[in-house]
Structure 1
Amino acid sequence: MSIQQFIKPFIFLGLVVNILHAQEKIDYKFDFGTGKLVKGYTPILSTDVYTKEKGYGFDFDSKVEAVDGRAKNFLTPHPVKSAGPFYFSIAVPEGNYKITVRLGDPKNAASCTIKAESRRLMLENVKTAAGQSLIKTFIVNVKDKHIANGELVSLKPRELNKLDWDDKLTLEFDGQAALQALEISKVEDQVTVFLAGNSTVVNQDDEPWASWGQMIPRFFKPGVAIANHAESGLTLGSFLASKRLTKILSIMKPGDYLFIEFGHNDQKDQGPNDGAFKSYTKRLKTFISEVKKKGGIPVLLTSTSRRSFGPDGKIVNSLGDFPAAARKVADEEKVALIDLNAMTTILFNALGEEASKKAFVHYPANSYPGQDKALADNTHFNPYGAYEIAQCVILGIKEQKLGIARYLVNDLPEFDPSKPDKPANWHWPESPKSTMVKPDGN
């Protein structure tokens, strides 16, 4: 066999791979509202509803209308607005996407908060003056359950209806959002920060539940993509068994990160080899070892404190030896540690026993549709609590001098867990969907 005959199949395979990569290139440009179409943009009218056949459009019964007015610096003279939250979806494959939005109302001042997929906070309270046009860019990670070797992530029934796991990218526009244009491009040059954890980390779909993992994207500018693979009720063991670590490793690039926070549910494992310094420690080391093999950077986080006040009005540790075990593993394996347990203890003590309820899912009856009983959960956070804890994580990133700190937003808020934001001064425009069903976990 000649050398040409030998290498011919490999050349063909290389061409196929290149073609597939070329097919992965995705760019959309949407011009919203009526008026003269901007060259290179796809027009989107208020009546353009998402369908699988078309692959983009307003979603979830969104009601929008074009704003009547003109401004010299506007890309389109008639942006769209809505009296309430509205959704726009685009069918895209798994990957990281750069999203560029052009916001502003030609006649009125406006403010806009943008969430992606399962209520991930991307932009917070972006204000525009009347006639002002403002461009903002952020990164959204889109994931699916498929693993390169033909395996699948084993999803829980509740995950089957989550926006995080469907076949499209969904943006939620809240506040008085006036949307002029939207650009979406698939990008390969982002540092991906994968999150592994439980209900204190996962992107919660419904009000009033929230976790720090869905708030942290707000604090990063392009350069970093947050890929949250956490799920309620999981332990290190069940995260492994459901092939979530396998999934992460299958798409991890050298230089990507894995943030690991477990402990709340691991406490329930009662086998002879279970415990903080047994199976928990062993599994943490497995996570670290496997990430390092991929050229990734593992980061351990101790578990968030529960709202567990003692007789003296101070937080009592309800997590046993698990925070200490995580600290010990980080020291032995020479990996970065963000001590969320210590920081959230300071945070909740600073708020105090009564005011700390404002950080958790504590609501009187009838606060939400169909809620005939009070909610009093001392483990799971509401959006305010999740936001404060996300700021703890950001503080830890800075203190540990992680490389991704250079991608923190320029308007990063000053934060000290001993001086938390006042709940009354913090605003979260609620999403339309709510549930009274408590997330898995304790």
Structure 2
Amino acid sequence: MFSFTVGASLFLLSSVTAQTVYLAGDSTMAPNGDGAGTGTDGWGQYLGQYLTLSISNQAIAGRSARSFTEEGRFTTIIDDVVAGDFVIIEFGHNDGLSGDVDNGREDAFGDSLTTTTTVTETDGSTEVIHTFNYYMTNAVNSLKAKGAIPIVSAQTPDNIWDGDVIAAPPRFVPYAQEVSGNTSVTYVDHYDYVAQAYEVIGETTVNTYYPIDHTHTTITGANVVAEAFVRGLLCSPSTLKSFVNSAGEAVPNGCL
């Protein structure tokens, strides 16, 4: 804070650093989705139109909570954030078990912070890995220690239907909710908010959002997924919702 005087009046000014919203996730959030030329894109690219804060999309295709940790990508965000920045963390699509040989992304099975598994690498060596909850919890607590405000978001659903509703979520959705509860940060059930939006739109139209597989969305689909996150955010206790603009306030559907 600094001051200056005009005439007999003293004016106090404070320097305020604009808050940033960082995004940590996989291809469903990342620029270009599954890669340039596929016609897909991640929902994180469309979140900024609904907020008054700037977005730093650090999501990258093919990553899991484990590989984002091991590659130092969480560390980069932790180093960059300042107090008051928001960090939305969303993983799950790439965190499942991969078979006899480690794919560099799979987490140990289960939700315990102490469970580990020894996996075999392609060169025959072994590595001890931890659970989804372990990697996520470490990231959340490290961000909180910097004064950042983490938001744990459930992974988005695949385009898989059970009758006229989206199929039940994988285990990483309740795992994400556990992490948020155990670390006392906001949870956004992005899975269910996207499912709500898709079920209103209908399977026939939603199918057009998935040109290459059941995971990666077109730009139109990515916008729907971004809107669903904003709806979940507005229905949460997060202070980030105070930075939702008028376009964000107008996104469809209601609280679950």
TM-score norm. by structure 1 comes to 0.46
Code of the residue aligned with 2:20 in structure 1: it is T
Percent identity at matched positions?
A: 23
- Distance in 2, matches of 1:402 and 1:291, equals 16
- Distance in 1, matches of 2:107 and 2:58, equals 26
Task: Give the CA deviation at 1:299.
Answer: 0.6
Residue 166 of structure 2: which of 298, 311, 315 is its match? Answer: 315
Task: Give the CA deviation at 1:332.
Answer: 1.9
Code of the residue aligned with 1:192 in structure 2: it is T
Cα deviation, 1:183-242, whole Å, max 9, x if unaligned, reads xxxx97211111100011101155611111000111123xx1111110011011111121
Structure-1 residue corresponding to 2:111 = 277
Matches within 5 A, 1:130-141: none
On the 8 A contact 1:195/1:228 being kept in 2, the answer is yes
Q: 1:412 to 1:349 in 2, by over 3 A?
A: closer
Code of the residue aligned with 2:166 in structure 1: it is I
Structure-2 residue corresponding to 1:214 = 45
Q: Does 1:256 align with 2:85?
A: yes
- Distance in 2, matches of 1:294 and 1:413, equals 30
> Aligned pair count?
214
Code of the residue aligned with 2:55 in structure 1: it is I
For CA contacts below 8 A with separation 6 or more, give which structure has more relative contact order: 2
Task: Give the CA deviation at 1:243.
Answer: 1.1
On the 8 A contact 1:202/1:228 being kept in 2, the answer is yes
Structure-1 residue corresponding to 2:5 = none
On the 8 A contact 1:208/1:382 being kept in 2, the answer is yes
SS at match of 2:76: helix
Cα deviation, 1:377-400, whole Å, max 9, x if unaligned, reads 111011111111111111222222
Give the structure with the larger helix fraction.
2
TM-score norm. by structure 2 comes to 0.76
Code of the residue aligned with 2:108 in structure 1: it is D
Structure-2 residue corresponding to 1:303 = 155
Q: 1:304 to 1:298 in 2, by over 3 A?
A: same
- Distance in 1, matches of 2:62 and 2:223, equals 21
- Distance in 2, matches of 1:295 and 1:269, equals 36
Moved over 6 A (4+): none
Code of the residue aligned with 2:201 in structure 1: it is L
- Distance in 2, matches of 1:339 and 1:276, equals 20
**Greater Rg, structure 1 or structure 2?**
1
Q: 1:347 to 1:412 in 2, by over 3 A?
A: closer
Q: Tell me, which stretches of 5 or more residues in structure 2 are unaligned?
A: 1-14, 113-130
Residue 195 of structure 1: which of 9, 19, 23 is its match? Answer: 23
Q: Tell me, which stretches of 5 or more residues in structure 1 are unaligned?
A: 1-186, 362-375, 419-442
SS at match of 1:227: strand
CA RMSD of aligned residues (A): 2.2
On the 8 A contact 1:344/1:417 being kept in 2, the answer is no
Structure-2 residue corresponding to 1:395 = 231
- Distance in 2, matches of 1:284 and 1:240, equals 9
- Distance in 1, matches of 2:161 and 2:109, equals 24
